[in-house]
Structure 1
Amino acid sequence: MGDGNDSGKVLDIKTADIKSTAPIFHTQGKNLSTALTTLVTTLDGLGSPWGDDEQGKAFGDAYRPQQKAIEKAAGTLVLGLVSIHEAMADMSDGHVDNEELIAGMFTKIRSRDGEGHDEGAK
């Protein structure tokens, strides 16, 4: 998320990067969900297109159990992509809130006599 330069910083979070990247996970999760729905409905609609001969039966016997596992794994990926999107959005909001809190700790206020002191030192 940094610019590739080694600034010596341990953590360089740019909220703009997080905010711009988070929707990509949502979009890709939606795309995967659409592809999964298309796969499932198409295959279910075709029945057993591989045929009833010996090779077709052997293929069907090997394929059917794996079909459900593939569908389940793809469904898990969809949920994962959506949760990454949500987590990144939350992280971005939390990072902004944290920066504002820290900035507030170091803000100087003027006392009645005109001298500044740290507001966070109360």
Structure 2
Amino acid sequence: MTHAEESPRIQLNHATSPDYGPGAGKGGEVLGIGVPELKLAAPVFGEQSRKLSRALTTLITALDGLGEPWGDDPTGENFAKEYKSNQRSIEQAAGVLVLGLVSIHEALDDMKDGHVDNDDLIKGMFTKVARGHGDRDAHGK
């Protein structure tokens, strides 16, 4: 197995139709994602969100644990104001990334479940059901 085959990346079918208006997609798939790809991708986003969350916690704990190495003179106070503002901005941005990865994980999981449920529903529509001895169809037969 090559490195590319081992990769949990999603491979998309990106053939498109020249028609982007109503009925777009006729003549070619715009996006084709299968259940196996979703099963592979969802846990990757979940794991990466946990890793980023741990890294963010480590960053916050480490920076807060260092204390305030600047003085209380005007230069130190100005530095502290800018530093703390930037630190909080970085923490908030990383928090948004964590939430984004979690939501992608959940969306892929939901999409996978939806595809599986839809496949089961369609199979059920085209599967003959064995009738019992006393069962009759709509015509009484």
Alignment of 1:2-17 (within 5 A): 2=11, 4=13, 6=15, 8-17=28-37
Identity %: 54
* Aligned residue runs from structure 1 range 62-101, under 5 A: 62-101=82-121
Indicate the structure with greater helix content.
1
Backbone CA RMSD of aligned residues? 2.6
Counterpart-to-counterpart distance in 2, 1:20 and 1:94: 16
User: What are the residue-to-residue correspondences of 1:35-46 with 2, within 5 Å?
Assistant: 35-46=55-66
Following superposition, the deviation at residue 94 of structure 1 comes to 1.1
In the superposition, relative to structure 1, how do residues 5 and 70 fare at CA in structure 2: closer, same or farther (>3 Å)? closer
- If the length of structure 2 is used for normalisation, what is the TM-score? 0.64
Q: Out of 7-16 and 21-30, give the one that drifted further.
A: 7-16
Higher relative contact order structure (alpha carbons within 8 Å, sequence separation ≥ 6): 1
Provide structure 2 residue ranges, at least 5 long, that are not aligned to the other structure: 1-9, 16-26, 132-141
Give the structure with the higher percent strand.
1
- CA apart distance, 1:76: 2.3
In the TM superposition, residue 95 of structure 1 has moved relative to its aligned partner by 0.5
Deviation at 1:59, TM superposition (A): 2.5
2:36 is matched by which residue type in structure 1? A
Please give the per-residue CA displacement for 1:74-122, whole angstroms capped at 9, x wherever unaligned.
Answer: 22221221121122112101101101212222335688xxxxxxxxxxx
Show CA shifts across 1:40-95 (max 9, x none). 1111111123x326654433221112222221222222122112112211210110
